[in-house]
Chain A
Amino acid sequence: MSARRCARPEDTVAAGRALAAWLAPGDVVVLTGALGAGKTVFATGVAAGLGVRERVTSPTFTLVRPHACANDRGIATLYHADLYRVESLDEVADLALGELVEESAVALIEWGERGDALWGPVHWEVRFTLDDEVRELALVVPPGRAPATGWAP
Chain B
Amino acid sequence: MILSIETATTACAAGLAGGQRSVEALLASDRRHVEVLVPGIQGLLAAWPATLRDVSRIVVDYGPGLFTGLRVGVATARALAEATGAELVGVTSLEVYATQAAARGVTGAVVAVVDGRRGELFAQPFALGDEVEALDAPRVVTPRDLAEHWAGGASPVTFVGDGAIRYARDLGAVPAATCLLVPWPSPVTAMAIGARREAAPVHPLYLREADAVANFATRSRP
Question: CB within 8 Å of B: which residues of A?
Answer: 28, 34-35, 88-89, 92-93, 96, 98-100, 102, 113-123, 143
Q: How long is the Cα–Cα vector from A120 to B215 in the complex, in angstroms?
A: 13
Neighbouring B residues of A113 by C-beta, 8 Å:
215, 219
Q: Which of A28, A88, A99, A114 contacts B219 (CB 8 A)?
A: A114
Q: Does B136 contact A (CB under 8 A)?
A: no
SS of A interface (majority)? helix
B219 — nearest CB in chain A belongs to which residue? A114
Neighbouring B residues of A123 by C-beta, 8 Å:
118
Q: Does B117 contact A (CB under 8 A)?
A: yes
Neighbouring B residues of A122 by C-beta, 8 Å:
118-119
* Given A115-B216, A119-B118, A120-B117: 15 more A-B contacts, CB < 8 Å: A34-B222, A35-B222, A92-B216, A93-B206, A99-B66, A99-B117, A113-B215, A114-B215, A116-B212, A117-B212, A120-B116, A121-B118, A121-B119, A121-B120, A122-B119
Q: Which of B67, B119, B209, B216 contacts A96 (CB 8 A)?
A: B67
B213 — nearest CB in chain A belongs to which residue? A89
Q: Are A99 and B67 in contact (CB under 8 A)?
A: yes
Q: Are B117 and A89 in contact (CB under 8 A)?
A: no
Q: Does B197 contact A (CB under 8 A)?
A: no
Give me the 4 closest cross-chain CB pairs, A-B, nearest first: A120-B118, A117-B212, A122-B119, A117-B211
Q: How long is the Cα–Cα vector from A117 to B117 in the complex, in angstroms?
A: 12
Interface residues of B in 88-111 (CB under 8 A from A): none
Neighbouring A residues of B66 by C-beta, 8 Å:
99
**Contact A98 to B118, CB < 8 A, known contacts A34-B222, A117-B211:** yes
Neighbouring B residues of A114 by C-beta, 8 Å:
215-216, 219
